[in-house]
Amino acid sequence: MIEPVALEDFFITFFSSALIILAGASYALLFAWSKVNPNFRIKIAAYISYAILIISVAELTQAAQFQGYWLIISFVMAIGYFFAPIGIWHLCVKTHADQDLIKIKEDI
């Protein structure tokens, strides 16, 4: 049976979970913005958002007392949050590059 989170850890669990979502979203948005508008400060802000996400994941694993495969899931989630925006960016660039080639061929 799954053990519930202790009442004194409930708010820490709640806020760290919410911060994971917000930091992950801000990392993805700032990463994409740094690709569209190449600015070193935006890229640094994206990595700071990712660092906040990692701290939140660590705090959540402590507060929720994750053990065993839950630790593996947390680790995979943190790695996935890092590589997902990069992969999505490359997918978008490749997809739109193909569309540009189609438009060029139609114009000829």
**DSSP letters spanning 21-47:** HHHHHHHHHHHHHHHHS--HHHHHHHH
Q: Which tens digit of pLDDT belongs to each residue from 32-79?
A: 999 999 899 999 999 999 999 999 999 999 998 888 999 999 999 999
What is each CA distance from 72 to 19, 61, 68, in whole angstroms? 20, 11, 7
The radius of gyration of the chain from alpha carbons, rounded to an integer in Å, stands at 19
With 0-12 CB in 10 A as exposed, 13-18 as middle and 19+ as buried, what is 36?
exposed
- Average pLDDT of the segment spanning 2-20: 85
